[in-house]
Amino acid sequence: MQQIIGIAANQIIQHVDVFHGNHVTYTPQGFVTAVQQANGLPLVLPIGSKEAAKAYIEKIDKLLLAGGQDISPDLFGEEPHPKLEETNRNRDLFELALIEEALKQQKPIFAVCRGMQLLNVALGGTLYQDLSLYANWKVKHVQQPTQPQFATHDVNIEKDSALYQLFGAKARVNSYHHQAIHTLADTLKVSATSTDGLIESIESIDPVQRILGVQWHPELRFEAERNEFKLFDYFVNEL
């Protein structure tokens, strides 16, 4: 049976000439295409009220959380650091409600970049608001101007993880983040780290909570590197 994959959407709310000033609900095409190629049925979930989250989760089989803005730091007990970038509180609150409902309804979650960070916050963890706050920062984690289809740094993968079954002990990934997980939530475990020690992938300790998160962007690279497609195939068909 084809799995319905709910992709939590982002929005553009500032004036943009290409959309003639209209506000836009969107998700990166890579998520849609990868889910379709894995024989899933993508369904984009627009930002809405917290009360709508229950009904959305009831209509899908699995939840995908995408990248995007920084996360509002008060959600993990901090004031905004001077290097904090754009936030969207409506998106934060809606996706937190989606996560809560997905866990209640035992629906699997695949979380990418910001999505992984928000999932950690939802479960009680904290973030570095900027990598300058991380004492051991030695690797470039925002790879511009290098194009996203090219991997730029290594991740070391834990042997007891689902990720190890897909990639083995090491993978090379792209990277687009200036925030990162600081304190890991108690119900999560680390699946992979960068060579400078940042958390690059997470899974749930409890097998009933089917969760996989990655800090990199497989949706921007799966067509150039088919190994990255394994993440979507695993999510749609196994997780």
The yes-or-no answer on residue 113 being catalytic is: yes
Q: Is 219 a catalytic residue?
A: yes
Continuous H helices in the chain = 29-37, 53-58, 89-104, 114-122, 162-167, 226-237
Q: Which of 95, 101, 113, 182 is catalytic?
A: 113
Q: Which residues of the chain have pLDDT under 70?
A: 15-18
How many angstroms separate the CA atoms of 178 and 70, rounded? 9
Return the amino acid letter for 90: N
Q: What is the pLDDT of residue 13?
A: 78
58 is catalytic: no
pLDDT of amino acid 83: 97
The tokens 């990162």 sit on which residue? 180
Burial of residue 21 (CB within 10 Å: 0-12, 13-18, 19+) is exposed
pLDDT of residue 22: 77
- Residue of 141, 153, 182, 217 marked catalytic: 217
Residue in 111, 120, 113, 70 with CA at minimum distance from that of residue 216: 113
In CATH terms, 4-237 corresponds, of 3.30.365.10, 3.40.50.300, 3.30.420.40, 3.40.50.880, to: 3.40.50.880
Task: Find, among 14, 118, 8, 18, the residue nearest to 52 by Cα.
Answer: 8
Active-site residue (options: 101, 203, 219, 228): 219
Domain boundaries along the sequence of the chain: 4-237
User: What pTM was estimated for this model as a whole?
Assistant: 0.95
pLDDT at 15: 64
Output the furthest CA–CA distance in the chain (Å, rounded): 50
Q: Could you give the CA distance from residue 138 to residue 121 in angstroms, rounded to a whole number?
A: 24
